[in-house]
Structure 1
Amino acid sequence: MSLTEGRIPMPQSEQQPWEWDEQTWRGHVGHVRAGRSLTPDVWPGGARCAVAVSFDSDHETPALRDGETRPAKLAQGEYGARVAVPKILALLERHRVPASFFMPAVCALLRPQEAKAYTAAGHELAVHGWIHERNTSLPPETERELQFRAADTLERIGGVRPVGIRTPSWDFSPHTLAITREMGLLYDSSLMADDEPYELVEDGEATGVVEIPVEWIRDDAPYFMMERFASLRPYIAPRDVLRIWQDEFAAAYTAGGLFQLTMHPHIIGHRSRLVVLDELLAHIGEHDGVWFATHREIAEYCLTRHPAR
């Protein structure tokens, strides 16, 4: 199927949403949906809870995507690669926690040794766009070309073909899932229809693609981002975020489900914030029956318990 075949046509620009007919609004709502739950009845080794830690190694690419080339702005991203990543890798090694690193291909080209360091340490390297582009602003053929090019680049540099994607900024276009299926990817981690893994459905068809859902509550950016020339400011103390994440983990542990966490080296990697991650991993590690796994391992295991139909 082509990227446009079978799609519900977009309404005319002069139409307001309240003017859409029922077929139109049902078509938009039904295009990409949550299908069957893939939460396993038991985690590996009889574990009570799974924990999937992830990092979006964006570095300079959000600025570059917007045509922002001021040295001061680029330096914010450089901090992530120069200072934060080595500390994060050391912290993960100390806690014996595998992680998934979602890396724009431009970042891998800028610092091949960083990408190689992820896979060499046993972590997962996964697709996160070419230059942290916004998918919903792209023609479908451009989105497709960038996604394929990004995967090829990560494979060439990291030595392992990526099996998962997290769209930049979790910006999921009407064509993203079709491209992901064409690439044969195992999972996506960009959507928010559940706390637990589920199967993605496209236009009523089960896809076999696992969704490992994200949420802004479990992301460092909403709490800590800072934009000097806009109103965006950090509004919460790092240790208050620690309490939120501990509560999220506690609920997942009680339910026997998944605790998934998204962070960014240039955001979480500052001193007063990295201590929060350190304490969080120590807190989780004190619990019996916790399985720390990459997103790939979570997706693979869920499919073994719930094979594709």
Structure 2
Amino acid sequence: MTVTPRICLSFDFDAISIWLGTLGLSSPTYVSRGEFAANVATPRILDILEREEVVSTWYIPGLDVDTYPEVCKRIRDAGHEIGHHGYAHESPTSLDEKAERDVLERGLDALDRVLGVRPDGYRSPAFDLSENSTRLLAEYGFKYDSSMMGNDFQPYRCRTGDVINRDRAVEFGRELDLVEVPVSWTLDDFPFMEFAIAPPLLMPGSIDTQGLADRWVSDLDFMVEEVPHGVFTQTFHPQAIGRAGRIRILERMIHRAKDHGAEFTTVSRVAADWSAKNPTVG
């Protein structure tokens, strides 16, 4: 029986928030890079997705929804899924439980107030979670998370209550009614394409982007050949993939997926389909 590969193109619309929240940078130059993401790159990307008839998922921080409501409404009106991505791109690992709740609620409020959206899914800024995150996501009614890396092409259940011992075996906690649709730093454009100085962090960026694209295509080909029932989830950032010739890499990924006869779908749909086939026990 022929299996149709499933592809999730996802975009983290971080704009100004990534510089402010994760890297602590708010100078006019870094703010201008957020402006480029919202005002130039995102419309370019949306034009391509419309032309190619591709549906995708966008994770949008509340601050960027509040700052750029019109382009976020265009994302919504084009039929793309919108997910939660913090408020000001805050890493949950730096927050206590109360602060993490506050960020979740501020992000939910912005998405509802500006876009009328109650998201099914969440992606953590910088792909990192606190020990409270999955429990809070389940409590707030999220259906899935897309921040972890316990598989490459297969969803699985999130857990809560892991005990990470250093002198004996790790004790894994209970599974939640929360699906993980995994990601990978190797399928993310930002750390390979963007330059930033935020001492002690230096992001060199500007590697051989065509070589990077070759590796992405190889990963897609591998999934189609070896994990036919899997899902290929790729993470893009408008300010990275949407600048000049880099956007041709997005087109290349779309065309390669079409060569495979792939179905483009949302992360929410993947999570819902997987959950229906893998109900929780107990």
The two structures have a TM-score, normalised by structure 2, of 0.89
Question: Aligned residue for 2:107?
Answer: 150
CA contact (8 A) 1:238 1:272 kept: no
Mapped to 1, the partners of 2:20 and 2:204 lie a distance apart of 21
Question: Aligned residue for 2:84?
Answer: 127
Question: Aligned residue for 1:84?
Answer: 41
Aligned with residue 175 of structure 1, among 132, 138, 141: 132
Of all paired residues, the percent bearing the same amino acid is: 31
Question: Aligned residue for 1:37?
Answer: none
CA contact (8 A) 2:195 2:206 kept: no
Q: The residue matched to 1:68 in structure 2 has which SS?
A: coil
Mapped to 1, the partners of 2:7 and 2:39 lie a distance apart of 27
Question: Aligned residue for 1:64?
Answer: 20
CA contact (8 A) 2:17 2:88 kept: yes
Aligned-partner residue type, residue 159 of structure 2: V
Higher mean alpha-carbon deviation, 274-283 vs 200-209, is at: 200-209
Question: Aligned residue for 2:277?
Answer: 305
Question: Aligned residue for 2:237?
Answer: 264
Deviations 1:82-108 (A, max 9, x none): 100000001111111111100100000
Segments of 4+ moved more than 6 angstroms: none
Higher CA-based Rg: 1
Question: Aligned residue for 1:243?
Answer: 214
Q: Which residues in structure 2 correspond to 1:87-236 (within 5 Å)?
A: 87-195=44-152, 196-203=154-161, 204-228=173-197, 231-236=202-207
Unpaired segments of 5 or more residues in structure 2? 162-172
Shift of 1:149: 1.9
Relative distance call for 1:228 and 1:182 in structure 2 (3 A) is closer
Aligned-partner residue type, residue 158 of structure 2: L
Shift of 1:183: 0.5
Deviations 1:96-154 (A, max 9, x none): 11111001000000011122111110101100001001211112101111112211221
Query: What is the root-mean-square deviation of aligned Cα atoms in Å?
Result: 1.6
Q: The residue matched to 1:133 in structure 2 has which SS?
A: coil
CA contact (8 A) 2:196 2:204 kept: yes
Matched, 1:253 2:224: yes
Q: The residue matched to 2:196 in structure 1 has which SS?
A: coil
Q: Which residues in structure 2 correspond to 1:49-60 (within 5 Å)?
A: 49-60=5-16
CA contact (8 A) 1:219 1:263 kept: yes
Mapped to 1, the partners of 2:203 and 2:46 lie a distance apart of 29
Aligned with residue 280 of structure 1, among 242, 250, 253: 253
Shift of 1:287: 1.6
Matched, 1:295 2:267: yes
CA contact (8 A) 1:187 1:211 kept: yes
Mapped to 1, the partners of 2:266 and 2:61 lie a distance apart of 18
Q: The residue matched to 2:148 in structure 1 has which SS?
A: coil
Mapped to 2, the partners of 1:63 and 1:284 lie a distance apart of 32
CA contact (8 A) 1:58 1:103 kept: yes
Question: Aligned residue for 1:48?
Answer: 4
Aligned residues: 264
Q: The residue matched to 2:147 in structure 1 has which SS?
A: coil
Shift of 1:67: 4.5
Unpaired segments of 5 or more residues in structure 1? 1-41
Mapped to 2, the partners of 1:106 and 1:78 lie a distance apart of 13
Mapped to 1, the partners of 2:49 and 2:208 lie a distance apart of 23
CA contact (8 A) 1:191 1:214 kept: yes
Higher mean alpha-carbon deviation, 193-202 vs 148-157, is at: 148-157
CA contact (8 A) 1:134 1:171 kept: yes
Mapped to 2, the partners of 1:277 and 1:291 lie a distance apart of 16
Shift of 1:267: 0.8
CA contact (8 A) 2:121 2:145 kept: yes
CA contact (8 A) 2:134 2:159 kept: no
Shift of 1:156: 2.2
